[in-house]
Amino acid sequence: MKPILISMVAAAGLMVAGSVLAVDMPAEGQSKCAVCHAIDKKVVGPAWNEVAAKYKGDKDAASKIAANITKGGAFGWKLGIMPAKGMGASDAEIKSLSQFIAGLAAPAKAKAAAPAKGEAKKEKTK
Ligand code: HEC
């Protein structure tokens, strides 16, 4: 029980660190995808920033990206063939990575401001 708790705390710490830096690849991405991908530059596959741009404004972006990662293949980048699930990512990892990639489309500033927007609206209606 105890080691599990400790690793959960450690994972939470990593997540906090990741959100502070905002553009750091999540740990599962580092181990399962980084041989072919980087966030801001093309490696073997496209830069995840560019993938985010491709799906910008698509509310189903995360699920479409997840489907493509899961099945692998070619998605029109003409860079080659991506292996299904990268280097063996689990479905849960694919889900969180897809959300991460889709989230890159929103500028960091807008993301940080998102919760405040709702509050601002409330204030207006007062
Ligand atoms: C062996 C290399 C390799 C690995 C490992 C790999 N990819 Fe890819 N990936 C590619 C290539 C090549 C493409 C571009 C295919 C094309 O030309 O259309 C691609 C494309 C993509 C795309 C674009 C999908 C789209 O809809 O346009 C995403 C997102 C992506 N990869 C995510 C991942 C994630 C997440 C992982 C880790 C779980 C991963 N990749 C692991 C090679 C790789």
CA of 69 to the centre of ligand 1 (A): 6
| CB-based contacts of 41, cutoff 8 Å, min separation 6 | 47
Residue 29 Cα: closest atom of ligand 1: 37
Provide the 8-state DSSP code for 88: T
Q: What pLDDT score does 103 carry?
A: 94
Tokens linked to 73: 């293949």
- Is 26-105 in CATH node 1.10.760.10? yes
CA of 60 to the centre of ligand 1 (A): 18
Ligand 1 centroid to Cα of residue 46, in Å, is 7
Q: What is the pLDDT of residues 68-120, one digit of tens each?
A: 999 999 999 999 999 999 999 999 999 999 999 999 986 655 444 444 444 44
* Atom 4 of ligand 1, residue of closest alpha carbon: 86
Per-residue pLDDT tens over the stretch 53-62: 999 999 999 9
**Does ligand 1 come within 6 angstroms of the Cβ of 83?**
yes
